[in-house]
């Protein structure tokens, strides 16, 4: 993967280009045509700052979207997964279709291609015999793979097509230019809280979302070319075109996640996204109690579920912010209304970290290894543990239920993600990048910065406290009745509630009565921290450093089941790589 190769000075490059956006207008004064190049992260009309800029140019405008084979193709990553599952691809196709409809309402056709943007632009920028300069506008992204795509596009434009590229930052709630001096990307600390305090104390403004005036009539692309290329204006790939087998995709498998929604599942598109925003905040008043419900795992309302639409850009974070503020003015202002904005701050934090850390968020040692001279970690976890984690057959019901939910729906709650990531990296000690890559393929809300940032954090690579979750305690705290695990693991349906999170504790008799023979109907649990205390080959010192306790056979935890102590790796936790798998 291009993204995963180290590129020097990425921060300098991205920062320079964020700064360049501010002065971009003058440089393109001579442009006679504009291509608005959509990405799979900005698929909306509302608050789309690229569209705003394109309309301001007041020249013939052509919106284009490419199903770039580097993202949508079948080539596996170095970890053996496709970049996007069929569900993720379907979600994007739906989002592009909705974008096309919404642009059409403004008189703009959307040209869709299966080529890379560099290739597609060669066709698009040669509309007639005239040699007008073309300006291409696209969203600026935080990570190197996308920056590299932009470099290629720029090269083709400048060397072959008499064109230029302008990139515009619109990914975050806060614009980088508005951050206070102590909270800039260059000065971003590894820890979230100090940065949050700086931006909150400085009352950092969030820009008002832009909306397109209904009276704007965009100038259209040369007629001759539009006619010649009419196929691209009707074309939308099928899943088959993207190399997916779509059988079994529509079989109501999302039940339990979004089944109470009109669509019965996550459906891509700005229109569904804006409806979700309206319903969750205003119709169902879920925002007013979000802080109490956000740790749930079952159903559609416990959290906003905005993330899939945010990831593909169908929702703007500034629009969500504006709606929260309006809700506070018109209905109620409380801890919950603050907390949703707080979570969007986490999102911003990881976007800015991705810019600051560059490719270090993809490397085995993460941001911590970059700065910590004493860094040493080892990931000796087995391939079979990884496979069982992926399939939801670890024998740990909370982990398995969450992984099965991910596989079936493309979504997992934040509570679930924290637990399965902790389990894979800190209990099984599998190289965290395998987990991140698997999430990348399946999560409908996959967002490079949020995913890799959160995985680095889960693997203890952001410095500070490491949240090593006690799976059994978490199960009892967040799924006391066992309803969630029973929803996703039918084998455990008849297991008594007190044993459903630790079914291996059932007596022979109980196993018989509940039709669940451990080792046959449901797997034996993978050995974990609980067993390291007596069975595994960890030194005494290692156990102590980990905070493991022989007496109660559980990791030191506070009320949330999180490790109290700062993570101190045991002596066996040394450097290493994926070679063990």
Ligand X SMILES: Cc1cc2nc3c(=O)[nH]c(=O)nc-3n(C[C@H](O)[C@H](O)[C@H](O)COP(=O)(O)OP(=O)(O)OC[C@H]3O[C@@H](n4cnc5c(N)ncnc54)[C@H](O)[C@@H]3O)c2cc1C
**Shortest approach of ligand X to residue 416 CB, angstroms?**
8
Choice between 39 and 100, CB closer to ligand X: 39
DSSP, res 183:
G
Using H for helix, E for strand and C for coil, what is the string for 212-273?
CCCCCCCCECCHHHHHHCCHHHHCCCCCCCCCCCCCCCCCCCCCCCCCCCCCCCCCCCHHHH
| Half-sphere exposure (Cβ direction) of 469: Cα atoms closer than 13 Å | 26
Choice between 473 and 499, CB closer to ligand X: 473
Strands (E), 301-442: none
Choice between 342 and 520, CB closer to ligand X: 342
**What angle in degrees, to the nearest 10, is found between the helix axes of 414-422 and 471-478?**
170
Tokens 């929260």 sit on residue: 324
**Shortest approach of ligand X to residue 349 CB, angstroms?**
7
Phi, psi of 385 (to 5 degrees): -65, -40
**What angle in degrees, to the nearest 10, is found between the helix axes of 317-330 and 335-357?**
160
**Shortest approach of ligand X to residue 303 CB, angstroms?**
3
Q: State the residues that interact with ligand X by CB under 6 A.
A: 294, 303-307, 310-311, 340, 343-344, 346-347, 350, 413-414, 417-418, 421, 439, 443, 445-447, 450-451, 454-455, 458
**Shortest approach of ligand X to residue 543 CB, angstroms?**
26
- How far is the C-alpha of 56 from the C-alpha of 501, rounded, in Å? 58
Choice between 133 and 325, CB closer to ligand X: 325
CA angle 159, 161, 162 (to 5 degrees): 85
**Shortest approach of ligand X to residue 117 CB, angstroms?**
23
Q: For residue 444, give the nearest of 16, 94, 26, 70 by alpha carbon.
A: 94
| Contact between residue 274 and residue 232 where contact means Cβ atoms under 8 Å apart | no
**Shortest approach of ligand X to residue 537 CB, angstroms?**
28
Choice between 64 and 340, CB closer to ligand X: 340
**Shortest approach of ligand X to residue 447 CB, angstroms?**
4
Choice between 235 and 339, CB closer to ligand X: 339
CA dihedral 512, 515, 518, 521 (to 10 degrees): 150
Choice between 179 and 340, CB closer to ligand X: 340
Choice between 428 and 454, CB closer to ligand X: 454
**Shortest approach of ligand X to residue 304 CB, angstroms?**
3
Residue 68 tokens, joined = 């770039």
């Amino acid at each position: 993967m291009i993204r995963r190769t180290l590129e020097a000075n990425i921060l300098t490059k991205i920062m320079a280009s964020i700064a360049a956006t501010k002065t971009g207008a003058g440089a393109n004064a001579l442009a006679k045509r504009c291509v608005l190049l959509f990405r799979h992260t900005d698929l909306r009309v509302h608050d789309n700052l690229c569209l705003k800029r394109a309309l301001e140019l007041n020249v013939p405008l052509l919106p284009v979207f490419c199903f770039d084979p580097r993202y949508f193709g079948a080539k596996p990553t170095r970890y053996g997964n496709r970049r996007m599952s069929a569900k993720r691809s379907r979600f994007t196709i739906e989002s592009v279709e909705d974008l096309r409809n919404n642009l059409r309402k403004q008189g703009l056709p959307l040209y869709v291609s299966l080529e890379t943007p560099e290739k597609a632009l060669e066709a698009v920028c040669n509309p007639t015999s005239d040699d007008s300069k073309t300006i291409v506008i696209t969203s600026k992204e935080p990570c190197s793979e996308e920056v590299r795509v932009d470099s290629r596009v720029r090269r083709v434009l400048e060397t072959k097509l008499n064109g230029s590229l302008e990139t515009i930052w619109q990914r975050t709630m806060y614009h980088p230019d508005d951050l206070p001096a102590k909270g800039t990307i260059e000065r971003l600390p590894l820890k979230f809280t100090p940065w949050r305090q700086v931006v909150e104390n400085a009352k950092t403004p969030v820009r008002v979302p832009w909306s397109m005036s209904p009276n704007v009539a965009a100038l259209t692309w040369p007629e001759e070319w539009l006619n010649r290329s009419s196929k691209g204006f009707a074309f939308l790939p099928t899943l088959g075109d993207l190399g997916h087998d779509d059988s079994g995709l529509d079989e109501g498998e999302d039940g339990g996640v979004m089944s109470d929604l009109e669509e019965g599942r996550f459906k891509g598109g700005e229109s569904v996204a804006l409806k979700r925003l309206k319903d969750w905040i205003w119709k169902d008043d879920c925002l007013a109690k979000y802080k109490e419900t956000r740790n749930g795992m079952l159903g559609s309302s416990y959290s906003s579920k905005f993330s899939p639409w945010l990831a593909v850009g169908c929702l703007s974070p500034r629009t969500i912010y504006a709606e929260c503020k309006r809700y506070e003015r018109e209905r109620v202002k409380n801890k919950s209304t603050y907390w949703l904005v707080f979570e969007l701050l986490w999102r911003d934090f990881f976007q800015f970290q991705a810019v600051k850390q560059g490719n270090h968020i993809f490397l085995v040692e993460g941001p911590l290894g970059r700065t910590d001279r004493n860094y040493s970690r080892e990931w000796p976890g087995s391939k079979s543990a990884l496979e069982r984690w992926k399939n939801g057959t670890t024998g740990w019901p909370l982990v398995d239920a969450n992984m099965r939910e991910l596989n079936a729906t493309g979504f997992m709650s934040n509570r679930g993600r924290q637990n399965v990531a902790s389990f894979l990296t800190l209990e099984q000690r599998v190289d965290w990048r395998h987990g991140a890559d698997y999430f990348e393929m399946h999560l409908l809300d996959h967002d490079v910065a949020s995913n890799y940032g959160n995985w680095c954090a889960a693997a203890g690579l952001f410095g500070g406290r490491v949240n090593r979750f006690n799976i059994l305690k978490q199960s009892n705290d967040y799924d006391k009745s066992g309803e969630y695990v029973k929803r996703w693991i039918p084998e455990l349906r008849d297991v008594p509630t007190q044993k459903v999170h630790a079914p291996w504790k059932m007596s022979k008799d109980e196993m018989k009565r509940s039709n669940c023979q451990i080792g046959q109907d449901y797997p034996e649990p993978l050995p974990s921290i609980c067993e390291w205390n007596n069975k595994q080959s960890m030194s005494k010192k290692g156990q102590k450093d980990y905070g493991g306790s022989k007496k109660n056979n559980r990791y030191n935890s506070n009320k949330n089941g999180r490790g109290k102590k700062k993570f101190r790796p045991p002596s066996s936790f040394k450097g290493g790589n994926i070679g063990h798998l």
